[in-house]
Amino acid sequence: MPTTEDLKLLFAEFPRDAVSWRAQSVTKDGTKALALAYIDARDVMDRLDDVCGSENWQDRYEFHGTRTICYLSIRVDGEWITKADGAGDSDVEAEKGAISDALKRAAVKWGVGRYLYHIVSPWVPCDSYETEYQGKKKQNWKSWKEDPWSYVRGSPAPKQVTPRKQEPLPTSPALESLWTEMMAISSSRGLELFWKDNVKTILGFDDGNKKRFVDKKDELKAKFAPPPPKGDSFPGSDRDALNQPMAAG
């Protein structure tokens, strides 16, 4: 089970390609939109699994009108500690969207994705389309023309570089022994136990080898994942609900 020291890993930044951007508002001429960064609920659950272990965190939900409250508990040094936050219904798939948003907001109280709140939202060039309602015209966001990260204050703009031959990743007998052990994993439970025992070591590797292990973990996780349930009925439990596709944002 995680210690108070382990919980510092919850604050780690996500890979940039895991961060999505939605448009909060669009300029009158439709050429730019205010970009807000967010992560997916599945990324939150993966971070909790990686740092805490799937058996050391749990979520519970209460519904008050259109508002959903998530109680996110983590077992720290043998004691369950709970933090809570809530969200209203979203524009798409209201109930599932509210569950997703409530989980993400509760996770922020544990540090997951909190750094995104400190990003000054940039105005980013976009494509848009026009609608009209009761005689009033409105510009609506369609897609980003450029990567919003390149407009974030303090984030260097992407630059053109000449591709070079990829350097071999640094290695060691201990690292390769761990990789061999990972390659021999043959079940979801085996992957879970391996990652729980070695995640702190792996997160201490250089960026190249760390990505190597994380990519392999994702590959094995997908390989061992059970087939999706049949039917389109809404899941019967909160944990099942969180495993369903959710609205972005």
* CA distance linking residue 28 with residue 157, whole number of Å: 26
pLDDT band at 90; cut points 50, 70, 90: low
Query: Residue 58 has what pLDDT?
Result: 95
pLDDT > 60? residue 103: yes
* Residue 56 Cα to chain centre, angstroms: 19
* CA distance linking residue 100 with residue 14, whole number of Å: 18
Query: Residue 91 has what pLDDT?
Result: 53
Instruction: Report the interhelical angle of 207-224 vs 188-203 (nearest 10°).
Output: 170
pLDDT digits (tens, 9 = 90+) for 213-240: 888 888 898 888 877 665 544 444 444 4
Is-above-0.85 flag for pTM?
Answer: no
Please name which of 105, 103, 50, 106 lies closest in space to residue 81, comparing C-alpha atoms: 106
